[in-house]
Amino acid sequence: MNLEFREGGLTQPSFITGLARGEGVVEQQQAWRAEEKVDEAVHVRLAREFLDSPYPYADRLTGHAYEAHKRALQIELLKLQDWLKTSRQRLIILFEGRDAAGKGGTIKRFTENLNPRGARVVALDKPSEIEKGQWYFQRYVEHLPSAGEMVLFDRSWYSRAGVELVMGFCSDVEYRAFLRQVVELERNLGESGTILVKIWLMVSPHEQAKRLEQRARDPLKRWKLSPIDLAAAKLHHEYAAAERAMFAHTATQDHPWVIIKSDCKRRARLAAMRHVLEQASYEGRDMSQLPPHDSMIVSRLIRTEGLSPGARAA
Protein backbone atom coordinates (compact mmCIF):
# COMPACT_ATOMS: atom_id res chain seq x y z
CA MET A 1 0.00 0.00 0.00
CA ASN A 2 1.52 3.26 -1.11
CA LEU A 3 0.95 6.85 -0.13
CA GLU A 4 1.91 9.57 -2.55
CA PHE A 5 3.05 13.01 -1.52
CA ARG A 6 1.27 15.67 -3.51
CA GLU A 7 0.55 19.33 -3.16
CA GLY A 8 -1.82 19.80 -0.25
CA GLY A 9 -0.67 16.78 1.71
CA LEU A 10 -0.90 13.02 1.58
CA THR A 11 -3.21 11.24 -0.79
CA GLN A 12 -5.31 8.41 0.57
CA PRO A 13 -4.02 4.81 0.53
CA SER A 14 -4.94 2.70 -2.49
CA PHE A 15 -7.57 0.61 -0.73
CA ILE A 16 -9.23 3.79 0.56
CA THR A 17 -9.34 5.52 -2.83
CA GLY A 18 -10.61 2.31 -4.39
CA LEU A 19 -13.58 2.39 -2.09
CA ALA A 20 -14.23 5.98 -3.07
CA ARG A 21 -14.60 4.72 -6.64
CA GLY A 22 -17.30 2.33 -5.45
CA GLU A 23 -15.26 -0.87 -5.21
CA GLY A 24 -16.31 -3.32 -2.49
CA VAL A 25 -14.78 -3.53 0.96
CA VAL A 26 -13.86 -7.19 0.60
CA GLU A 27 -12.24 -6.73 -2.82
CA GLN A 28 -10.25 -3.76 -1.61
CA GLN A 29 -9.04 -5.61 1.48
CA GLN A 30 -7.96 -8.55 -0.68
CA ALA A 31 -6.04 -6.22 -2.99
CA TRP A 32 -4.50 -4.47 -0.01
CA ARG A 33 -3.37 -7.76 1.53
CA ALA A 34 -1.79 -8.83 -1.74
CA GLU A 35 -0.06 -5.48 -2.10
CA GLU A 36 1.17 -5.63 1.48
CA LYS A 37 2.11 -9.32 1.18
CA VAL A 38 0.27 -9.94 4.44
CA ASP A 39 0.40 -13.56 5.53
CA GLU A 40 -2.89 -14.96 4.21
CA ALA A 41 -2.91 -17.51 7.04
CA VAL A 42 -3.68 -14.75 9.53
CA HIS A 43 -7.05 -13.01 9.31
CA VAL A 44 -9.70 -11.62 11.53
CA ARG A 45 -12.85 -13.69 11.78
CA LEU A 46 -15.02 -10.74 10.93
CA ALA A 47 -18.64 -11.13 11.85
CA ARG A 48 -19.67 -9.88 8.43
CA GLU A 49 -23.36 -10.38 8.86
CA PHE A 50 -23.22 -8.53 12.17
CA LEU A 51 -21.17 -5.63 10.83
CA ASP A 52 -23.24 -5.20 7.68
CA SER A 53 -26.72 -5.80 9.07
CA PRO A 54 -29.06 -2.91 9.95
CA TYR A 55 -29.74 -1.94 13.52
CA PRO A 56 -32.04 -4.66 14.91
CA TYR A 57 -34.38 -2.63 17.13
CA ALA A 58 -37.09 -0.30 15.86
CA ASP A 59 -37.79 1.11 19.32
CA ARG A 60 -35.63 2.84 21.90
CA LEU A 61 -35.20 1.52 25.43
CA THR A 62 -37.66 3.15 27.83
CA GLY A 63 -36.38 5.46 30.54
CA HIS A 64 -37.69 3.37 33.44
CA ALA A 65 -36.04 0.13 32.29
CA TYR A 66 -32.85 1.97 31.40
CA GLU A 67 -32.50 3.67 34.79
CA ALA A 68 -33.14 0.43 36.69
CA HIS A 69 -30.54 -1.50 34.66
CA LYS A 70 -28.05 1.36 34.84
CA ARG A 71 -28.29 1.51 38.63
CA ALA A 72 -27.60 -2.22 38.95
CA LEU A 73 -24.62 -1.96 36.61
CA GLN A 74 -23.18 1.07 38.39
CA ILE A 75 -23.37 -0.77 41.72
CA GLU A 76 -21.31 -3.54 40.17
CA LEU A 77 -18.87 -0.99 38.76
CA LEU A 78 -18.29 0.29 42.29
CA LYS A 79 -17.52 -3.27 43.41
CA LEU A 80 -15.08 -3.54 40.52
CA GLN A 81 -13.43 -0.28 41.54
CA ASP A 82 -13.07 -1.44 45.14
CA TRP A 83 -11.50 -4.68 43.92
CA LEU A 84 -9.04 -2.80 41.72
CA LYS A 85 -7.97 -0.72 44.72
CA THR A 86 -7.59 -3.58 47.20
CA SER A 87 -5.92 -5.95 44.73
CA ARG A 88 -3.80 -3.16 43.17
CA GLN A 89 -4.90 -4.19 39.69
CA ARG A 90 -4.93 -1.84 36.70
CA LEU A 91 -7.73 -1.44 34.16
CA ILE A 92 -7.71 0.35 30.79
CA ILE A 93 -10.89 0.79 28.76
CA LEU A 94 -10.56 2.11 25.22
CA PHE A 95 -13.68 3.69 23.72
CA GLU A 96 -13.48 3.97 19.96
CA GLY A 97 -15.95 4.56 17.14
CA ARG A 98 -16.88 7.18 14.63
CA ASP A 99 -17.93 10.71 15.48
CA ALA A 100 -21.24 10.83 17.37
CA ALA A 101 -21.17 7.09 18.07
CA GLY A 102 -21.82 7.77 21.77
CA LYS A 103 -18.37 7.44 23.32
CA GLY A 104 -18.57 10.46 25.61
CA GLY A 105 -22.07 9.69 26.84
CA THR A 106 -21.14 6.08 27.57
CA ILE A 107 -18.05 7.15 29.52
CA LYS A 108 -20.15 9.62 31.51
CA ARG A 109 -22.49 6.82 32.64
CA PHE A 110 -19.51 4.66 33.56
CA THR A 111 -18.00 7.27 35.82
CA GLU A 112 -20.92 9.24 37.27
CA ASN A 113 -20.94 7.25 40.52
CA LEU A 114 -17.34 6.07 40.67
CA ASN A 115 -14.77 7.52 43.06
CA PRO A 116 -12.89 10.04 40.87
CA ARG A 117 -9.68 9.36 42.82
CA GLY A 118 -9.46 5.94 41.24
CA ALA A 119 -11.07 6.50 37.84
CA ARG A 120 -9.67 8.89 35.25
CA VAL A 121 -10.95 9.89 31.82
CA VAL A 122 -8.36 10.69 29.16
CA ALA A 123 -9.49 12.62 26.09
CA LEU A 124 -6.41 13.98 24.34
CA ASP A 125 -6.45 16.82 21.85
CA LYS A 126 -4.56 16.59 18.58
CA PRO A 127 -0.81 16.20 19.18
CA SER A 128 1.28 19.28 19.82
CA GLU A 129 4.41 20.04 17.83
CA ILE A 130 6.49 18.53 20.65
CA GLU A 131 4.34 15.38 20.71
CA LYS A 132 4.63 15.01 16.95
CA GLY A 133 8.36 14.58 17.46
CA GLN A 134 7.92 11.82 20.05
CA TRP A 135 7.31 8.09 19.76
CA TYR A 136 3.67 7.83 18.70
CA PHE A 137 2.52 5.97 21.82
CA GLN A 138 4.44 8.18 24.24
CA ARG A 139 1.65 10.65 24.99
CA TYR A 140 -0.74 7.79 25.73
CA VAL A 141 1.71 5.87 27.90
CA GLU A 142 1.96 8.91 30.18
CA HIS A 143 -1.71 8.41 31.10
CA LEU A 144 -1.68 4.66 31.80
CA PRO A 145 -3.08 3.62 35.20
CA SER A 146 -1.12 3.04 38.34
CA ALA A 147 -1.92 0.18 40.71
CA GLY A 148 -5.56 0.35 41.83
CA GLU A 149 -6.68 2.68 39.04
CA MET A 150 -8.91 2.48 36.01
CA VAL A 151 -8.41 4.78 33.03
CA LEU A 152 -11.05 5.33 30.36
CA PHE A 153 -9.75 6.63 27.02
CA ASP A 154 -12.18 8.70 24.95
CA ARG A 155 -10.37 7.81 21.71
CA SER A 156 -6.96 6.26 22.00
CA TRP A 157 -3.88 5.24 20.07
CA TYR A 158 -6.22 3.70 17.49
CA SER A 159 -6.76 7.15 15.99
CA ARG A 160 -3.76 6.31 13.82
CA ALA A 161 -5.64 3.43 12.17
CA GLY A 162 -8.82 5.49 11.70
CA VAL A 163 -9.03 9.22 11.27
CA GLU A 164 -5.29 9.73 10.75
CA LEU A 165 -5.16 7.10 8.03
CA VAL A 166 -8.32 8.07 6.17
CA MET A 167 -7.78 11.83 6.38
CA GLY A 168 -4.12 11.59 5.43
CA PHE A 169 -2.68 12.79 8.76
CA CYS A 170 -0.06 10.02 8.93
CA SER A 171 2.37 8.62 6.40
CA ASP A 172 2.51 5.09 5.08
CA VAL A 173 5.64 4.45 7.15
CA GLU A 174 3.95 5.70 10.32
CA TYR A 175 0.88 3.56 9.71
CA ARG A 176 2.94 0.43 9.09
CA ALA A 177 4.95 1.10 12.25
CA PHE A 178 1.74 1.47 14.24
CA LEU A 179 0.41 -1.90 13.08
CA ARG A 180 3.70 -3.57 14.03
CA GLN A 181 3.96 -1.95 17.44
CA VAL A 182 0.40 -1.82 18.77
CA VAL A 183 -0.06 -5.56 19.23
CA GLU A 184 3.27 -5.80 21.03
CA LEU A 185 2.39 -2.83 23.25
CA GLU A 186 -0.91 -4.42 24.24
CA ARG A 187 0.77 -7.78 24.82
CA ASN A 188 3.22 -6.10 27.17
CA LEU A 189 0.37 -4.43 29.04
CA GLY A 190 -1.31 -7.80 29.49
CA GLU A 191 1.87 -9.48 30.66
CA SER A 192 2.30 -6.71 33.24
CA GLY A 193 -1.09 -7.62 34.72
CA THR A 194 -3.04 -4.73 33.21
CA ILE A 195 -6.59 -5.51 32.10
CA LEU A 196 -7.22 -3.96 28.68
CA VAL A 197 -10.73 -3.73 27.21
CA LYS A 198 -11.30 -2.42 23.66
CA ILE A 199 -14.81 -1.21 22.83
CA TRP A 200 -15.92 -0.07 19.38
CA LEU A 201 -19.24 1.78 19.30
CA MET A 202 -20.79 1.31 15.87
CA VAL A 203 -23.32 3.89 14.68
CA SER A 204 -25.18 3.67 11.38
CA PRO A 205 -24.63 6.42 8.77
CA HIS A 206 -28.26 7.56 9.08
CA GLU A 207 -28.12 7.85 12.87
CA GLN A 208 -24.71 9.52 12.74
CA ALA A 209 -25.98 12.16 10.31
CA LYS A 210 -28.96 12.86 12.56
CA ARG A 211 -26.75 13.30 15.63
CA LEU A 212 -24.30 15.57 13.83
CA GLU A 213 -27.19 17.73 12.66
CA GLN A 214 -28.47 17.94 16.24
CA ARG A 215 -25.04 19.05 17.40
CA ALA A 216 -24.94 21.76 14.76
CA ARG A 217 -28.29 23.12 15.94
CA ASP A 218 -27.61 22.94 19.68
CA PRO A 219 -25.40 25.77 21.05
CA LEU A 220 -24.50 23.58 24.04
CA LYS A 221 -23.21 20.76 21.85
CA ARG A 222 -21.79 22.68 18.91
CA TRP A 223 -18.30 22.50 20.42
CA LYS A 224 -18.34 18.77 19.70
CA LEU A 225 -18.54 19.43 15.96
CA SER A 226 -15.45 20.15 13.89
CA PRO A 227 -14.74 20.48 10.16
CA ILE A 228 -12.98 17.11 10.34
CA ASP A 229 -16.17 15.53 11.72
CA LEU A 230 -18.21 16.87 8.83
CA ALA A 231 -15.66 15.75 6.25
CA ALA A 232 -15.31 12.31 7.83
CA ALA A 233 -19.07 11.73 7.81
CA LYS A 234 -18.96 11.74 4.00
CA LEU A 235 -16.33 8.97 3.89
CA HIS A 236 -18.38 6.07 5.22
CA HIS A 237 -16.93 3.41 2.90
CA GLU A 238 -13.37 4.62 3.40
CA TYR A 239 -13.72 4.43 7.16
CA ALA A 240 -15.34 0.99 6.90
CA ALA A 241 -12.33 -0.34 5.01
CA ALA A 242 -9.88 1.23 7.47
CA GLU A 243 -11.81 -0.17 10.44
CA ARG A 244 -11.85 -3.71 9.07
CA ALA A 245 -8.17 -3.56 8.26
CA MET A 246 -7.55 -2.42 11.84
CA PHE A 247 -9.66 -5.27 13.26
CA ALA A 248 -7.79 -7.74 11.06
CA HIS A 249 -4.46 -6.70 12.56
CA THR A 250 -5.36 -5.94 16.16
CA ALA A 251 -8.27 -8.16 17.29
CA THR A 252 -6.04 -10.60 19.13
CA GLN A 253 -7.09 -13.52 21.28
CA ASP A 254 -5.97 -11.76 24.45
CA HIS A 255 -7.31 -8.35 23.46
CA PRO A 256 -10.24 -8.73 21.05
CA TRP A 257 -12.49 -5.92 19.93
CA VAL A 258 -16.05 -5.87 21.21
CA ILE A 259 -18.38 -4.19 18.73
CA ILE A 260 -21.52 -2.59 20.17
CA LYS A 261 -24.15 -1.17 17.84
CA SER A 262 -25.06 2.20 19.29
CA ASP A 263 -28.03 3.59 17.37
CA CYS A 264 -29.87 3.31 20.68
CA LYS A 265 -27.49 5.03 23.08
CA ARG A 266 -29.13 3.57 26.16
CA ARG A 267 -28.79 -0.03 25.03
CA ALA A 268 -25.18 0.60 24.02
CA ARG A 269 -24.27 2.10 27.41
CA LEU A 270 -25.73 -0.84 29.29
CA ALA A 271 -24.03 -3.35 26.99
CA ALA A 272 -20.65 -1.63 27.39
CA MET A 273 -20.87 -1.63 31.19
CA ARG A 274 -21.86 -5.29 31.29
CA HIS A 275 -19.01 -6.24 28.98
CA VAL A 276 -16.42 -4.54 31.17
CA LEU A 277 -17.81 -6.22 34.29
CA GLU A 278 -17.45 -9.60 32.59
CA GLN A 279 -13.70 -9.09 32.19
CA ALA A 280 -12.78 -9.36 35.90
CA SER A 281 -13.62 -11.85 38.65
CA TYR A 282 -13.93 -9.22 41.35
CA GLU A 283 -15.09 -9.91 44.87
CA GLY A 284 -18.88 -9.95 45.30
CA ARG A 285 -19.68 -9.99 41.61
CA ASP A 286 -23.38 -10.64 41.02
CA MET A 287 -24.46 -10.68 37.38
CA SER A 288 -27.90 -12.12 38.13
CA GLN A 289 -29.59 -8.73 38.46
CA LEU A 290 -27.99 -7.24 35.35
CA PRO A 291 -29.47 -6.98 31.86
CA PRO A 292 -28.54 -10.07 29.82
CA HIS A 293 -25.91 -10.15 27.12
CA ASP A 294 -27.54 -8.85 23.94
CA SER A 295 -26.07 -10.64 20.92
CA MET A 296 -28.30 -8.54 18.67
CA ILE A 297 -26.07 -5.52 19.26
CA VAL A 298 -22.85 -6.99 20.75
CA SER A 299 -20.19 -9.11 19.06
CA ARG A 300 -16.53 -9.85 19.66
CA LEU A 301 -14.00 -9.86 16.84
CA ILE A 302 -10.97 -12.12 17.27
CA ARG A 303 -8.10 -12.62 14.85
CA THR A 304 -7.41 -16.31 14.27
CA GLU A 305 -4.78 -18.36 12.46
CA GLY A 306 -5.40 -20.16 9.22
CA LEU A 307 -8.96 -18.99 8.58
CA SER A 308 -10.40 -16.62 6.03
CA PRO A 309 -12.63 -13.83 7.30
CA GLY A 310 -16.00 -15.17 8.32
CA ALA A 311 -18.76 -14.71 10.81
CA ARG A 312 -18.06 -15.04 14.47
CA ALA A 313 -20.25 -13.72 17.22
CA ALA A 314 -19.40 -14.22 20.88
Question: How far from chain centre, in Å, is Cα 12?
Answer: 22
The CATH number of 42-305, from 3.40.50.300, 3.30.2130.30, 1.10.357.10, 3.30.450.40, is 3.40.50.300
Residues 223, 225: Cα–Cα separation, whole Å: 5
Reply yes or no on whether the pLDDT at 10 is more than 80.
Answer: no
pLDDT digits (tens, 9 = 90+) for 31-65: 544 444 443 333 334 467 888 899 999 999 999 99
- For 34, phi then psi, to 5°, come to -65, -40
pLDDT of residue 303: 77
pLDDT of residue 228: 87
Q: Is 64 buried (19+), middle (13-18) or exposed (0-12) by CB count in 10 A? A: exposed
pLDDT digits (tens, 9 = 90+) for 125-169: 999 999 999 999 999 999 999 999 999 999 999 999 999 999 999
pLDDT digits (tens, 9 = 90+) for 168-215: 999 999 999 999 999 999 999 999 999 999 999 999 999 999 999 999
pLDDT digits (tens, 9 = 90+) for 282-297: 999 999 999 999 999 9
Is the Cβ–Cβ distance between 163 and 126 less than 8 Å?
A: no
- Axis crossing angle, helix 25-36 with helix 236-250, rounded to the nearest 10: 50
Is the Cβ–Cβ distance between 157 and 137 less than 8 Å?
A: yes
pTM (global) more than 0.75: yes
pLDDT digits (tens, 9 = 90+) for 260-290: 999 999 999 999 999 999 999 999 999 999 9
Strand pairing partners for 199?
Answer: 95, 258
